[in-house]
Amino acid sequence: MIEESKKNLAINLMRFPLNGGGTELITDKANSAIRLYGRRFYKDQTPVEYLAEFLLAFASPKQTSKEGCYQFKLNTNDDEIAHYWPEDRIALKLFSLFSSSKLETRHPAHRQAYLAALETVKERIGGTKDEQEETLRLIQSLFGGFVGVAKNRTWVTYSFLPVTTRLLARELNWLHSKATKDKSLKNWESIASYSYFAHDRHNFMARGGELLYLQVVNLFAQQDANEISALLKEKEYQHLAKRMNGLSIRLEDHLRTMLVESSVQLSCLGDFIEGTLDEYKIKLEPKPAYLGWVPIVSRTEGLLFAMEMDNVCSSNIGTLEKLDLLQILCCMQVLRSLCFQARRIDETDKYTQGFVGNYAWIVTDPEAKLGTPIRQMAQSSFGLIEELLYRVLKNNTILGAGSDAEAEKHGFQIFRKLSKEIGLVVPRKGAGQRFTLHQGLLRFLVAALVTPGERIRLTHFYQRVFAHYGIALGGEQLAVALNWCGNEADGDSYAVSSSTAWVEEALQQGGFLVELSDAVSMVKNPG
């Protein structure tokens, strides 16, 4: 039994790609969260930056020859460190974001370059002086409106909403303390190097999006793996089998179309600014971004992620709506990945019939009164998940040389922070924290789990939500979830009598529920 457990552990910690991270980080010296989940999830990465980093890795070249754009394929040899070549968009950021950035991190050379850049752009704009000024302000306002994350940062670390490839940018950090000590820095030419704009800190684009990208690459590299083939034969996952054929090509095409063809005018304007301000780019040899690794076994959750992304991307909705849904999807995938891998290592809990992840999230009506049974169960469910994620980091078999505090930042703390940011867990502060689903998350579940134009029975929708996320809404799935949470005695009877009226009402308000009769309701994704 012990030998079998060690064998399973070794399998669950195997890496993809094998050269992920290269010699940059030896697995045994990493903290337990990195050893367990891959390199890496980090608690300070924001939802929009998970998506932006994922799309940046997808859209960027995977070779110095600029090949491999818009692919879920690494295009590297077995003896190479997996990498890609992202743009930094520093000229566009200087033009668009400098004026709204943190004052104390603006170096005099930044201000000088910014003012000169404005004059350079104005020279390329026709019309009178007043018309040039007005056009300049409009262009700056336009790009400023696509800021995804600013917070208390300097301009170069701002993130754009990933509306188009031209707004995808790697993280650069301005080394302000180092720069202020160097009295020789007088102009842009003296600071425009990687000595002062560091490309390898990963403070905000913290590799979480890269990890999600590698999960999908891992899936398509081995999509005929035994566990995938076995999963698709299960009745709860047969809806996926019908759409496996051509999934990689279809998904690559959907994402490329969204990034390239949906925002042509914005892309052209970005090209105009960057072309005009070519002298403000970093002139040194471009630096590759080195990818980390994911557990090979994560191709299971990678399959669910890819299928859900395909549903969202194939919807006939606007680009901004798609980005909003994809942002939620990336967050949900992080939460799901943490729980999936934790359950593979932690062998103390029961299995969940109808869900390959073998955990459960019991959700409650956002308006449920204090003291109601379902609210208490949702609270208990959240507590058990947190205990699982904390306990697995202390497992002696995966402990590395890294600190416990860092391990918690890379694992345990992410679940609480991210689930609250998207409203899956409430309240944000205080006692009684529990799983819930607001209308926006229900809309997301319809968009991600129901193919555009498809109609499925409400009971099948509940089954699908459980099969993908372990979210128990009622009926049979709630009974399984209650049993997993330790409520065997009255789990079945409570699940049968529990009301899902709040779910049906929210679906109906969103236009996703079609009632054919008193006994039959259908969930539809209008696409």
**pLDDT recorded at residue 344:** 94
**pLDDT recorded at residue 23:** 46
Does pTM top 0.85 for this prediction?
Answer: yes
**pLDDT recorded at residue 335:** 98
**Strands, DSSP E only, in 375-438?**
425-426, 434-435
Helix 439-449 / helix 319-345 crossing angle, nearest 10 deg: 90
Residue ranges of the domains in the chain? Answer: 350-527
**pLDDT recorded at residue 493:** 57
Judged by DSSP in three states, 436 sits in strand
**pLDDT recorded at residue 12:** 84
Phi, psi of 290 (to 5 degrees): -90, 130
Judged by DSSP in three states, 197 sits in strand
3-state secondary structure 119-156: HHHHHCCCCCHHHHHHHHHHHHHHHHCCEEECCCCCHH
Residue 273 to residue 165: CA distance in whole angstroms: 14
218 phi-psi bin (left φ>0, alpha ψ -120 to 50, beta other): alpha
**pLDDT recorded at residue 64:** 80
Q: What does pLDDT average to in each consecutive run of 10 residues of the chain (527 residues)? A: 64 85 56 92 94 98 89 81 93 94 87 95 92 95 93 89 96 89 88 82 93 97 88 95 94 97 92 94 82 95 98 95 98 98 86 95 92 91 96 82 82 94 94 95 97 95 98 92 80 63 93 84 91
